[in-house]
Amino acid sequence: MVCKEIYGSSTVCKKYVKTGKDRLLAVDLSPKWTSLTQFFMVVFLPQGYPESVSSDYLQYQIWDTIQAFASSITGTLAAQAMLKGVGVGDESATVMAATLTWILKDGTGMLGRIMFAWIQGTSLDCDAKRWRLFADILNDLAIFMEIMAPNFKTYFTPIVCTAGVCKSIVGVAGGATRAALTQHQARRNNMADVSAKDGSQETLVNLAALICSLTLVPLVTGKEVTIWILFVFFTMLHLFANYSAVTSVIMESLNLARLHILVKDYLQTGRILSPEEGNYREPVLWRTRRKLSVHLGTSIGRVYNKASKLEEAIAIYKGSNYLLDVNFKTGCISIVLSSESTPEDLLQSCVQTEVITYVYDNLYKNKAFSYELDGIAAALTEGDSAKTSEASLHYTKSHIQELRRALIDQGWVCDPLLLGPDEWRAQWDNTGLLDKKDV
């Protein structure tokens, strides 16, 4: 034997033997059925699997396959109802009426797609798991409306148009979050390969669902009760599979929800949770509940209505690339970012908000704070925004490097950050006055 080779981490194995005539002979040492298994792996899994993808890839794809199958079945039931609603099989129905209904449905869907991308486009990256689940819930709602629509002839067009808007939103949210999840899963700069193989898997599932639908549709046609039973069953399966899929994803990047969980646990226990623990605790149905909301990258005009107040903030945050204000009347923490702000500044400012939030949430629970947090608690009790900012900034600055090292040691990624800041950026100097050239 001259040499031996394997294909990735698979069981495919060959040895090369030198023969008497100076030829190299390949001998396959692979176990039985390896060729068939390897064929399906090459066709439906990214090259280099499992090393080329994240550790949560297989579990996510299994649940994603189940939800795609269930969604295809309910989609077939909805398509049948839609055809019935536009007049297929009804001699009194006209082609013109059906065409106009379809055009209105598509037109409202296009408008809905544009509006949703405009309003929520920037938040899809930051909360990919939550928006992914939202998209699938909305998709089930749209299918429900399409199945129900033929029973309300008078309101058929408004109902299907509303369903069209919902499905267009599903297309935007689902497509954008799928891209974010694919980027997370691709670990060898192989996002295109992972995305392409995901498409192949979904096509195979839809093909299987199509074959099942060919058997199912003739059996349920005209049987309303059976249709609704199947819809409820597959919808529940779809929702359960989707919830299981998004909760199985372990993202190492930091968004506001995960950072809130990490800082809260750090202040309570002095340790940083692992990505597995942090993602397990992350809410995927609702936003993180806060007594104080957070606005990152806000405009100075929304925060400071007096020059003296702005100058006081600049004095407190001397040398920092952000300003932070706590408004007790509106229950809002606003962060003004400098044009020179870096990811480290964004992380520090958001950690500072979480420190304030933690103390504020536990202020009236008779909870004993460490001596370092007592100053923040006292300032919050007095309702003094400036003292709260100063005390929390001092605490954050003294702990941010330790916290950042602990995050990296646990496997969290601190750059890039998915904190979703707005685009407002300001310039100031340490005296509170801008240079004349900047005015």
Question: What is the identity of the amino acid at 169?
Answer: I
Does any domain span residue 49?
no
Does any domain span residue 343?
yes
Does any domain span residue 131?
yes
Residues 369, 375: Cα–Cα separation, whole Å: 10
Residues 325, 299: Cα–Cα separation, whole Å: 12
Which range of residues forms the domain containing residue 216? 57-249
* Whole-number CA gyration radius for the chain: 28
What single-letter DSSP state applies at residue 189? S
User: Would you state the structure tokens that stand for residue 118, as one six-digit string?
Assistant: 């405009």
- Among 249, 277, 298, identify where a domain stops: 249
Residues 116, 134: Cα–Cα separation, whole Å: 13
- Among 249, 275, 293, identify where a domain stops: 249
Q: What are the angstrom distances between the C-alpha of 191 and each of 52, 63, 271, 273?
A: 10, 20, 33, 28
Does any domain span residue 259?
yes
Both 353 and 406 in one domain: the answer is: yes
Both 272 and 399 in one domain: the answer is: yes
Closest to 341 (Cα-Cα) out of 324, 321, 323: 321
Both 392 and 263 in one domain: the answer is: yes
End-to-end CA distance of the chain: 78
User: Would you state the structure tokens that stand for residue 214, as one six-digit string?
Assistant: 């060919």
Give pLDDT, residue 87.
67
Over residues 361-392, the pLDDT tens digits come to 888 777 777 778 889 999 999 999 999 999 99
- Among 249, 267, 294, identify where a domain stops: 249
Both 82 and 227 in one domain: the answer is: yes
Both 338 and 242 in one domain: the answer is: no
What single-letter DSSP state applies at residue 336? E
User: Would you state the structure tokens that stand for residue 365, as one six-digit string?
Assistant: 């629970």
Rounded to 5°, the CA angle 149-151-157 comes to: 35
Give pLDDT, residue 156.
87
Give the chain's length.
Answer: 439
Q: Are 16 and 3 in contact (CB under 8 A)?
A: yes
Q: What are the angstrom distances between the C-alpha of 410 and each of 160, 191, 253, 407, 414?
A: 49, 25, 12, 5, 11
Does any domain span residue 52?
no
Does any domain span residue 395?
yes
Rounded to 5°, the CA angle 240-265-57 comes to: 35
Over residues 9-36, the pLDDT tens digits come to 667 788 888 887 778 888 887 776 666 7
Give pLDDT, residue 51.
87
What single-letter DSSP state applies at residue 149? G
Both 345 and 399 in one domain: the answer is: yes
CATH number at residue 165: 1.20.1250.20
What single-letter DSSP state applies at residue 186? B
Number of domains in the chain: 3
Question: What is the identity of the amino acid at 52?
Answer: S
Both 288 and 390 in one domain: the answer is: yes
Give pLDDT, residue 437.
47
Give pLDDT, residue 283.
92
Residues 134, 285: Cα–Cα separation, whole Å: 8
Question: What is the identity of the amino acid at 129?
Answer: K
Does any domain span residue 50?
no
Three-state secondary structure call for residue 28: strand
Question: What is the identity of the amino acid at 182?
Answer: T
Give pLDDT, residue 88.
64
Closest to 17 (Cα-Cα) out of 26, 9, 8: 26
Residues 353, 346: Cα–Cα separation, whole Å: 11
Three-state secondary structure call for residue 322: strand
Give pLDDT, residue 40.
81
Which residues, 6+ apart, have CB-to-CB distance to 87 below 8 Å? Answer: 93, 94, 97, 98
Cis bond upstream, residue 416 (ω within 30): yes
In the chain (439 residues long), the average pLDDT of successive 10-residue segments reads 77 81 79 70 86 92 94 91 72 71 86 87 84 94 92 88 92 89 90 92 92 89 89 95 95 94 93 94 88 92 90 91 93 94 95 95 78 89 93 95 95 91 86 47
Residues 169, 325: Cα–Cα separation, whole Å: 35
User: Would you state the structure tokens that stand for residue 198, as one six-digit string?
Assistant: 């995901």
Does any domain span residue 23?
yes
Three-state secondary structure call for residue 325: strand
Residues 63, 238: Cα–Cα separation, whole Å: 9
What residue has token string 């995901």?
198
What residue has token string 């945050």?
317
Edge-first strand order for the sheet with 13-18 is 3-6, 13-18, 24-28
User: Would you state the structure tokens that stand for residue 197, as one six-digit string?
Assistant: 């193989």
Give pLDDT, residue 354.
95
Both 268 and 236 in one domain: the answer is: no
Both 429 and 397 in one domain: the answer is: yes
Give pLDDT, residue 70.
95
Give pTM, 2 decimals. 0.86
What is the dihedral angle through the alpha carbons of 222, 225, 227, 231, rounded to the nearest 10 degrees?
160
Both 236 and 362 in one domain: the answer is: no
Both 164 and 186 in one domain: the answer is: yes
For residue 5, what are the β-bridge partners?
Answer: 14
Both 175 and 258 in one domain: the answer is: no
Cis bond upstream, residue 46 (ω within 30): no
